[in-house]
A and B are shown apart, each in its own frame.
Chain A
Amino acid sequence: MKSDRLPYSLLALGLALLLWGSYWGLFLAPAEAYMGDVQRIMYVHVPTAWNAMLALTFAFACALLSLFRGDPVWDARLEGALEVGVTLSALLCMQGAIWAKPTWGVWWDWDPRLTTTAVLVFAFGAILALRQFVDDPVKRATWSAVAAIIAYADVPIVYFSVKWWNSLHQTQSSPETVSRAFHWPLRINAFGMLFLMSGLISLRSRLALLRREEETAPPLPGRTVDRWGDARSLLMAGPAGVISGGWEFVWAAYGVTAVILTGYAVSVFARYRAQRRRREAVKR
C-alpha cells in the first residue's frame, strides 16, 4: 500500500489555494463594469469548468490505457476520474444556472456549453451507474472503458449540434474579455481546483483499488457491499431558493461549490476509510 500522504497533501494545497483565491476574488478584486459583483462567480465557475473537462479528458486517457493494457490500476483511475469529473460537471451546471439568473434573467439558457455539460453529466454518470451493476471486475473494466471512449467521442458532436440548433433560435452574446485585474484570483483558484481534483481522483482511485482487491479476494462470511455509495454522493445539495440581487447569487454559487466539494471530499474520504478498516479487519 502506497503512502497516504500524496492525496492528502494535494487536497490541503488545493483547499488553501482555493480559500486564498476566493478571498481575493470576493473581497479584493474590483467589481466588473457591467455585471457588478455577480461576476465574482467567475472565480469558481471558470476553474470548475477547466478542471471538469480536464478530469473527463483524463478519464478518456485512463479508458484507453485500461482497455489496451488491461491493468486494474488504470481501471481504478478511470473510476476516480469519472466520479470526480461528473461531480465537477454537475457543480458547473449549478454554478452556471446561478450565474445565468441575474445576468440573462433565466436559470437555464440553452447555451451550447451549458447544454453540453448537462449532457456530459448524464453520459458519464450513466457509466458510473453501469459500473454499479456489473459484478465481474474484468467485464466492468472493459465495458466502462468502451462506454467512456464512446461518450468522449460524442462530446464534439453534441456541442456542435446544440450550437447549430440554438443559433437558429437566438444568439447569446457574452463578451469573454477578461481584464487584467481579474487574472490573479482566477489563476490561483484554477490551480487550487487542479490540486483538489488531483487529490480527489487519487484518493478515489485508491478506494476503487481497495474495493477491487476485496471483490477478487475469496468471499468472507458477513460481507456486505455498499452498492449505492457512489450514486448517493452525486445527489447532494442544491442551490438556495430564487433570490434577486447581486451578492446573494455570488454567495449561492460559492456556497454550492463549498458544499458540493466538501461533501464529495468527505464522502470519498469516509468511503476510503471504511474500506481500509474492512481490509484491516479481513487481515486480522
Chain B
Amino acid sequence: MSPLAAALRKDLLLQWRTRAQVVAVFAFGASALLLFSFAVGPNAGVLREHAAGFLWLGLLLSSTLTLAESFHAEAEHRALEGLLLLPASARSLYYAKALANALALAALGAGLVPVMVVLYDAATPRIPALLGIILLGSAGLSAPGTLYAAMTSQARARQTLLPLLLFPLVVPVLLAAVKATGLLIQGDPMGQVRSWTLLLVCFDVIHWSLCGLLFERVVED
C-alpha cells in the first residue's frame, strides 16, 4: 500500500469513527439553510432564486467546523510529529487529509441538497452535474482549508482564525459554485455552467498544487 493510500485510509477511518461529529455538522448546515429563508421571507420565487447561494453559504459555514476538527486527532498528544517520523512524505499526509476532507464536504453538500430542494423548491434534473459541482467546490474549500487547519490547530484562537484566513481566499470558489448551481436550478440557456466549472477546476488545480508544495514547510519543525 502506498503512503498516500495508507494515510487516506487512516483519515477516512478517522472520519468514520467520528461520525457523530459528521451528523452534528450536517444538522448545523441544515439549520443554517432553514435560518437563511427567514432573511428573505416566505416568497417561493425569491427563495428559489437564492437557493444556490444559501446552499453554498451553508456548506461554507459548516466546512469550517469539519476542517477545524480535521487536525484535532493529530494535534492531540503531538501525534503529527509521530506521523512525520514515518517513511511517508509530509506531502502524502497532506493530500490524504485534503482528499478525505474534500470527500467529507462533498458528502455534506450532497446531504444538504435534499434540504435545499424541500425548503426552497429548487429541484434540478441534472443531478450528476450538480454533484460534480459540489465535488469540485468541496475540493476548492478543502485544499487551502486543510493547510490552514494544520496551522490553526496549533495556534491560539483557532476557531476564529480558520474562517478568518479561509473565507477571503475562497471567494472565487463561492462565486463559481453559486453561479453554476444557480444555473443548474434555474436553467442554463446560454450554456454558462461550463465556464464556471472551468473556473472551479482552475482554482482547484492551482491550490491543490501550491498548498501541497507548501505543506511540508508548515509542519516541519
Among listed A47-55, A141-149, A185-193, interface-contacting one? A141-149
Q: Inside 8 A of A149's CB, which chain B residues have their CB?
A: 210, 214
Q: How far is the CA of A142 from the CA of B219 in the complex (A)?
A: 10
Given A130-B155, A133-B155, A157-B206: A147 touches B148 (CB 8 Å cut-off): yes
Known: A133-B161, A142-B218, A150-B207. A158 touches B171 (CB 8 A): yes
Type the 1/0 row for B81-111, where 1 means its CB is closer than 8 Å to any CB of A: 0000000000000000000000000000000
Distance between B118 CB and nearest chain A CB, rounded to angstroms: 28
Chain B interface, >50% SS class: helix
A53-91 contacts to B, CB under 8 A, are 67
Residues of B within 8 A of A147 (CB): 148, 151, 165
Residues of A within 8 A of B161 (CB): 126, 129-130, 133
Bound form: Cα–Cα A141–B189 in Å? 50
8 A Cβ contacts from B188-221 to A? 192, 195, 199, 202-203, 206-207, 210-211, 214, 217-218, 220
Q: Choose one: A143, A154, A164; the contact of B151 (CB below 8 Å).
A: A143
CA distance A164 to B172 in the complex (A): 10
- Chain A residues in 8 Å Cβ range of B157: 133
The answer on a CB contact under 8 Å between B169 and A130 is no
A153 within 8 A of B: yes
In the complex, residue of chain B having the shortest beta-carbon distance to the beta carbon of A227: B156
Give the chain B neighbours of A129 by CB distance below 8 A: 160-161, 164
A126-B161, A130-B151 as given contacts; A143 in contact with B218, CB under 8 Å: yes
Complex: A162 Cα to B171 Cα, angstroms: 9
The answer on a CB contact under 8 Å between A119 and B165 is no
The 8 Å CB contact of A150, one of B171, B199, B210, B220, is B210
Please encode chain A, from 160 to 171, with 1 for each CB lying within 8 Å of some chain B CB and 0 for all others: 111011001000
- B169 lies within 8 A of A165 (CB): no
Q: Residue A119 contacts which of B160, B168, B206, B210 (CB distance < 8 angstroms)? A: B168
Are A151's CB and B169's CB within 8 A? yes
A142-B217 in contact (CB<8A): yes
Q: Are the CB atoms of A165 and B179 closer together than 8 Å? A: yes
Summed over the interface, the residue pairs from A and B with CB atoms below 8 Å come to a total of: 88
Is B144 at the interface (CB under 8 A from chain A)?
yes
Query: Does B217 contact A164, Cβ atoms closer than 8 Å?
Result: no
Contact assessment for A150 and B155 in the assembled complex, using a CB-CB cutoff below 8 Å: no
Whether A184 sits at the interface, judged by CB under 8 Å, is: no
Tell me, yes or no, whether B176 is within 8 Å of chain A by CB: yes
Q: Does A42 belong to the interface (CB within 8 Å)?
A: no
The yes or no answer to A29 lying at the interface (CB within 8 A) is no
Whether A146 lies near B147 (C-beta < 8 A) is: yes
Q: Does A122 contact B (CB under 8 A)?
A: yes
Whether B217 pairs with A146 at a CB distance below 8 angstroms is yes
Bound CA span A184–B147, Å: 47
B218 to chain A: closest CB distance in Å?
6
Most B CB within 10 A of own CB, among A120, A123, A135 = A123
- Would you call B175 an interface residue if the criterion is a C-beta within 8 Å of the partner chain's C-beta atoms? yes
- A150 B211 Cβ-Cβ under 8 A: yes
Q: For chain B residues 124-173, which have a beta carbon within 8 Å of chain A?
A: 144, 147-148, 151-152, 154-157, 160-161, 164-165, 167-169, 171-172
Q: In the complex the two chains form, what is the Cα distance from A145 to B199 in whole Å? A: 26
Nearest B residue (CB) for A121: B168
- Give complex CA distance A62, B112 in Å: 42
Hey, which bits of chain B sit against chain A, CB under 8 A? 144, 147-148, 151-152, 154-157, 160-161, 164-165, 167-169, 171-172, 175-176, 179, 192, 195, 199, 202-203, 206-207, 210-211, 214, 217-218, 220
Q: 8 closest A-B pairs (Cβ-Cβ)?
A: A123-B168, A161-B172, A122-B168, A126-B164, A126-B165, A133-B156, A157-B172, A146-B214
A sample of 8 inter-chain contacts (CB < 8 A) reads A122-B164, A122-B168, A134-B156, A143-B151, A149-B214, A150-B207, A150-B211, A164-B175
